[in-house]
Amino acid sequence: MSLQDNNPQRLPLERVAEVMEQGDVDNEHGILRWSSNYAFLVSLKLENDAVNAVYKPQRGERPLWDFPDGTLCYRETAAYLTSKELCWELVPPTVLREGPRGLGSFQFFIDHDPQVNYFSFDETMMPQLKRMAAFDYVVNNADRKGGHCLVDCDGHLWGIDHGITFNAVHKLRTVIWDFAGQSISEPLLADIARLCAILEDPTSTYTQTMHKLLSPAENRAFQNRLRHLLKHKRYPQPGPGPNYPWPPV
């Protein structure tokens, strides 16, 4: 039986998030062996709806020299909230909550073909990749591997694994350099300008939540990246130092 037999991909995303926020962990399918940190595939159930999610407990995070310990699950959540605020639907619904192994992030599991990733995409994926490339700069993604680009049954592109994002220091490492130096489209810039204005409003729910998830320095650097894109209106060029993640897939 497929994991999705009891987890309809057709549930509205708002309902998916609600099930993950309020539902009970109904079943644990096992650990995901390819993950750098401890990650478990679980099912959550609320009333008659069930969804599968990837659960990454805080205490299963591997220490990193350049990110504060125990913060990766906060960054996963911040990336989702940013994607949602932009209305880009790039990051699957993600919530920060208690689970069987303590506090952690729960991210909706996207049913996909694991053989399909960035390195197998054709030209039809370019518009969606342009949005993802802009997003990765906005969140300062230090680990956009080709295998972190998933395509669902409707051809929609999703990005996963955002635990090492939002560092105050420039850390952009990605396989998506296709658009380096090119102009960013006006619709994307309009979304970024709107997000920048929201961040400047201390009373907005999004701003208040981001200040709980990230440090003051990280939030300032986040705003500066938005302003940089709005000023230059171009995708970034690879800079000095490592620009590609390893392994690339």
pTM of the predicted protein model: 0.93
109-136: b (≥16 Cβ within 10 Å) or e: bbebeeeebbeebeeebeebbbbbbbbb
Q: Rounded to an integer, what distance in angstroms lies between the CA atom of residue 206 and that of residue 197?
A: 11
Query: What is the residue type of 115?
Result: Q
* 160 contacts 92 by C-beta, under 8 angstroms: yes
Q: Which of 243, 249, 97 is nearest to 170 (CA)?
A: 243
pLDDT tens-digit series, residues 51-75: 999 999 999 999 999 999 999 999 9
Domain ranges of the chain: 3-232
pLDDT of amino acid 6: 43
Picking from 7-16, 80-89, 155-164, which range would have the lowest pLDDT averaged per residue?
7-16
* 141 contacts 162 by C-beta, under 8 angstroms: yes
Q: Rounded to an integer, what distance in angstroms lies between the CA atom of residue 50 and that of residue 68?
A: 33
pLDDT tens-digit series, residues 162-181: 999 999 999 999 999 999 99
Dig out the tokens for 207 from the structure.
């701003």
